[in-house]
Amino acid sequence: MLDKPNTMSSFWMPFTANRDFLREPRMIQSAEGMYYTSSDGRQIMDGTAGLWCVNAGHRDPLIVEAVQKQVHELDYAPNFQFAHPQAFELSGKLTAMMPEGMNHAFFTNSGSESVDTALKIALHYHRMRGDSARTRLIGRERGYHGTGFGGISVGGIVKNRMHFGTLLTGVDHLRHTHDLDRNAFSRGCPAHGAELADDLERIVALHDASTIAAVIVEPMAGSTGVLLPPKGYLQRLREICDRHGILLIFDEVITAFGRLGAATAAEYFGVKPDIITTAKGLTNGVIPMGAVIVSDDIYNSAMENAGAPIELFHGYTYSANPVSCAAALAALESYEQNDLFRRAALLSQPWEDQLHSLKGLPNVIDIRNLGLVGAIELAPREGAPGARAYEAMKRAWDAGIMIRVTGDIIALSPPLIISEPEITKLVQTLGEVLAELP
Ligand code: PXG
């Protein structure tokens, strides 16, 4: 082996300003509950549950123990033509948390894979029913569905798409729902914009429903900067899909497992999709894992109509890996034991009140919230979009809180174990950062 010097640039960091980071690294050494310890020994409050995944807080003892035990007993087992009991135990426990009639889980290793899997299952479903002209996939502007080619094709964030060629064909996009003119400083879901769901009728008129397989949306768009569905929007989208035989996919990679104060956004909004994609909170972020949950109709149609013994030619080496299953089973157990979804629901009011207290600080042009999610939108600096929020993120780290930024939007999504005094501390610290921010 060549004797190469070990430089920090050997790690090409994901979604990171690598060159800037190397000049001024923000390094994390350990974590416990609501806090990280930085490598210079400071306590940093986790205002984002990692990347929207550590819902039960860090190093939950149930999960740590379950993973340790599992890795000693069965480290790996294939799930192609063989299986292990934890996979069935987990699929049972997971589907029991899903809306009525959604009783089948397909396991993946990430949100991006869950999205790819969901899109493929949608195409497969129509084909199984002899409706194979239904191949178009409809996403939404500003949607985020991970970074696979499927996900960036239906996704609507320009920078995630523009560098990567022509993407999937046969994809179209609904208009996004962000409308500060009408909805700035809304508390909870905004009042205006349900009619934007009718944009699906425009797309149907253009392509004809008989060519459309599925619509995929985040019930609450997280990554793009917390865009909340206008009141009635998701219900209307469901009705239009039903009218035209189009499957509705909710990408719940962020919203599943308590973020809005319910097991799923589907439950929270009372709108049932045909497919739900999950990841992140499924294992509390501890081990990579995702799951796609489908309706009985979709599963049964594959079981009844497949021409080959294998019903779906799709899967991953690590689908339902035993250690991931153990982490997920323990995470779901922890959510239940600590009643974390209800806790998130109860905290959502003080959370809202605290966040909206930042109104009036310099450059704050919107504050929005739902469940334990919040966003503060800043006015961009002249000729330097994103620079103001990026600087806020760096100053927040120095001040002892971790926040996420996308463009000039600050997103907050703390672990669901956060206490009211910790909410106050998080918001106050952010307020101090914003008050000083040029
Ligand atoms: N769908 C949705 C709705 C997501 O939010 C993915 C799919 C992809 O998941 P994976 O596991 O492949 O990354 C996501 C991921 C942020 C942020 O700061 C959000 C995500 C990932 C990283 C950062 O907003 N969402």
* Measured distance CA(204)–CA(155) in Å, rounded: 19
CATH number at residue 190: 3.40.640.10
Tell me: do 322 and 410 sit in the same domain.
no
Q: Is residue 134 part of a domain?
A: yes
* Average pLDDT, integer, range 312-324: 98
State which residues form the domain around 26.
Answer: 8-59+339-436
Tell me: do 104 and 171 sit in the same domain.
yes
Ligand 1 atom 17: residue of nearest CA: 223
Tell me: do 388 and 323 sit in the same domain.
no
CATH number at residue 50: 3.90.1150.10
* Measured distance CA(251)–CA(188) in Å, rounded: 20
For residue 272, the 8-state DSSP code is -
* Average pLDDT, integer, range 126-141: 97
Where does residue 307 rank: exposed (0-12), middle (13-18), buried (19+ CB within 10 A)?
Answer: exposed
Which of 160, 253, 316, 403 gets mutated to test ligand 1 (max ligand atoms within 8 A of its CB)?
Answer: 253
* Average pLDDT, integer, range 44-51: 98
Tell me: do 277 and 406 sit in the same domain.
no
Q: What percent of the chain stands above pLDDT 70?
A: 100
Which of 52, 54, 116, 224 gets mutated to test ligand 1 (max ligand atoms within 8 A of its CB)?
Answer: 52
Say how many domains are in the chain. 2
CA of 96 to the centre of ligand 1 (A): 24
Ligand 1 atom 10: residue of nearest CA: 111
Tell me: do 317 and 402 sit in the same domain.
no
pLDDT score for 9: 86
- With both helix axes pointing from N to C terminus, report the angle between 420-436 and 387-399 in degrees, rounded to the nearest 10: 130
Q: Any residues with CB less than 8 A from the CB of 76 and at least 6 apart, and which?
A: 321, 322, 323
At CB < 8 A and 24+ separation, what contacts does 157-162 make? 157/223, 157/224
pLDDT score for 8: 84
CA of 259 to the centre of ligand 1 (A): 14
Q: Is residue 414 part of a domain?
A: yes
Q: Is residue 100 part of a domain?
A: yes
Tell me: do 184 and 206 sit in the same domain.
yes
* Average pLDDT, integer, range 420-427: 98
Tell me: do 164 and 308 sit in the same domain.
yes
375 phi, psi to nearest 5 deg: -145, 145
Ligand 1 atom 16: residue of nearest CA: 223
- Structure confidence at residue 3 as a pLDDT band (50, 70, 90): confident
Which of 110, 217, 223 gets mutated to test ligand 1 (max ligand atoms within 8 A of its CB)?
Answer: 223
Q: Is residue 3 part of a domain?
A: no
What does the mean pLDDT of the chain come to?
A: 97
Q: Any residues with CB less than 8 A from the CB of 173 and at least 6 apart, and which?
A: 138, 139, 140, 141, 143, 154, 156
Tell me: do 96 and 210 sit in the same domain.
yes
Q: Any residues with CB less than 8 A from the CB of 218 and at least 6 apart, and which?
A: 143, 144, 145, 250, 251, 252, 253, 254, 255
- Predicted confidence (pLDDT) per residue in 171-196, tens digit: 999 999 999 999 999 999 999 999 99
Write down the residue that tokens 């009985």 correspond to: 296
Largest CA distance in the chain: 65
Q: Is residue 108 part of a domain?
A: yes
pTM flag (> 0.85):
yes
Pocket lining for ligand 1, CB < 6 angstroms: 51-52, 110-112, 115, 144-146, 218, 222-223, 251, 253-254, 279, 404, 406, 411
Q: Mark which of 308, 337, 366 sits at the end of a domain.
A: 337
Tell me: do 270 and 362 sit in the same domain.
no
- Structure confidence at residue 2 as a pLDDT band (50, 70, 90): low
Q: Is residue 413 part of a domain?
A: yes
Measured from the Cβ of residue 29, the count of other Cβ atoms closer than 10 Å reads 11
CA of 145 to the centre of ligand 1 (A): 7
Q: Mark which of 337, 364, 399 sits at the end of a domain.
A: 337
- Structure confidence at residue 7 as a pLDDT band (50, 70, 90): confident
Tell me: do 83 and 209 sit in the same domain.
yes
- Predicted confidence (pLDDT) per residue in 211-252, tens digit: 999 999 999 999 999 999 999 999 999 999 999 999 999 999
Report the relative pairing of strands 404-406 and 409-412 from DSSP bridges.
Answer: antiparallel
Tell me: do 184 and 324 sit in the same domain.
yes
CA of 213 to the centre of ligand 1 (A): 23
* Measured distance CA(41)–CA(48) in Å, rounded: 20
Tell me: do 130 and 251 sit in the same domain.
yes
- Structure confidence at residue 6 as a pLDDT band (50, 70, 90): confident
Query: DSSP per residue over 331-400, as a string?
Result: HHHHHHHTTHHHHHHHHHHHHHHHHHTTTTSTTEEEEEEETTEEEEEEPPBTTBTTHHHHHHHHHHHHHT
Q: Is residue 2 part of a domain?
A: no
Record the tokens describing residue 414, joined without a space.
Answer: 């703390």
Q: Is residue 1 part of a domain?
A: no
Q: Mark which of 297, 321, 337 sits at the end of a domain.
A: 337
- Structure confidence at residue 1 as a pLDDT band (50, 70, 90): low
